[in-house]
Amino acid sequence: MEDLVYLQMVGSRNKEKERKINQLLEDDRKKVLELAIPDPDEELPFHLLYVLKKIKIWFSSRCRDIEIYNLW
């Protein structure tokens, strides 16, 4: 499986908030890689797609009060 590419928040005036968001993104990326079970018949495993969708919903609900660009 190829490495996942994920975006980080940059250019924020609040460096502590930026660091926390970047850490959340890194933690989420690690969770996805741990949960994904490769399926040899698919380019992207169905399980991985499901987990990515769940993380997107979870992340957007956690960051409502933070000005951030659409990452997905």
- What integer pLDDT is reported at residue 7 of this predicted model? 57
- What integer pLDDT is reported at residue 6 of this predicted model? 53
- Count Cα atoms within 13 angstroms, Cβ side, for 14: 9
With CA atoms as reference, report the closest residue to 45 among 29, 59, 32, 55. 32
The overall pTM is greater than 0.85: no
| Residue 7 φ/ψ, nearest 5 degrees | -95, 150
| Beta-carbon count within 10 A of 27 CB | 11
The three-class DSSP label of residue 36 is: coil
Q: pLDDT tens track of the chain, all 72 residues?
A: 455 555 555 555 677 877 888 888 888 878 877 776 655 565 555 556 666 666 666 555 555 544 444 444
